[in-house]
Amino acid sequence: MTWLELEGAVNARDLGGLPTVDGRVTRSGVLLRSDNLQDLTPKDLDVLREHGLRTVLDMRTGAELDIIGPGPLRETDVTHVHLDLIPHGFEARAEDVVEKAIPHEEAGDEAMDHFYIDYVNHAPDAIATALRTIADPRSGAVLVHCAAGKDRTGVVCALALSLVGVTRSAVVADYVLTDERIMAVRDRLLSSELYHDDMARRTPESFRLHGANMERFLDRVDATYGGVHGLAMTIGVDEETVARLSRRLLG
């Protein structure tokens, strides 16, 4: 794993170098993850171009996109795929957007993995499209992002990594790694009109990541679908796509 030191995003990294159960490691320059890309600078665009970025998977809600507007990458030839993991009946009320988009880490045991399994159960087509896009060699380097780069992004990356055999401990460790940058993520969200009020109400501790949340989510996937492979088959990601994903991420 390599941090991408960007001026306009603080939680960006390349998911290369993660170990698999059969002794291999994930390739660099294939799967990237980040917080919101709204503030990228021209220098950042150069950095991402050097990493081969060709596709962005934007996991934010339609309301977030409508309120915040397009980011600098929209003016480039990078392909954007918008995949909303949070079906909702509200439209653009800011308080509803933030409550769903950035769940509260101190909401109690099993609250976070409840949110995470809901992404899968309520938006299986979006999850399937994300996995197919990452598996497609025409996608080039794929960057997955949401607002903070921890929950929606974390679930998609955890499923992709698990599907190709990355060890659970490495998947959980990557999820928790966001905690190293979480106060900087909080500062970015505080500077946004959309997220500011909700962020200001929370204690700093409420932003800290806990590996148990990802562990419980993966346990739920095991219990409900018989594992990540069973989940993939259930949502329409076929064996050939899984094989392509492995070739992409592991070589």
Q: What CATH number is given to the structural domain containing 239?
A: 3.90.190.10
For the chain, the domain total comes to 1
Token couple for 199: 């962020």
Q: How many CA atoms lie within 13 A of 8 on its CB side?
A: 16
Has residue 206 got a pLDDT over 60?
yes
pLDDT at 29 over 60: yes
Q: Is residue 240 packed enough to be buried (19+ CB in 10 Å), middle (13-18) or exposed (0-12)?
A: exposed
What was the pLDDT predicted at 67?
A: 85
For residue 90, what pLDDT band results from cuts at 50, 70 and 90?
very low
Q: pLDDT grade, residue 205 (50/70/90)? A: confident
The span from the CA of 48 to the CA of 55, in Å, is 11
User: What is the reported pLDDT for 1?
Assistant: 87
Average pLDDT over residues 65-78: 90
Domain residue limits at 175: 2-250
**CB distance 152 to 14 below 8 Å:** no
Per-residue confidence (pLDDT) for residue 22, from 0 to 100 = 97
pTM of the model: 0.93
| ∠ CA 174-179-181, rounded to 5° | 105
**How many Cβ atoms sit within 10 Å of the Cβ of residue 17?**
12
Looking at residue 65, its pLDDT comes to 87
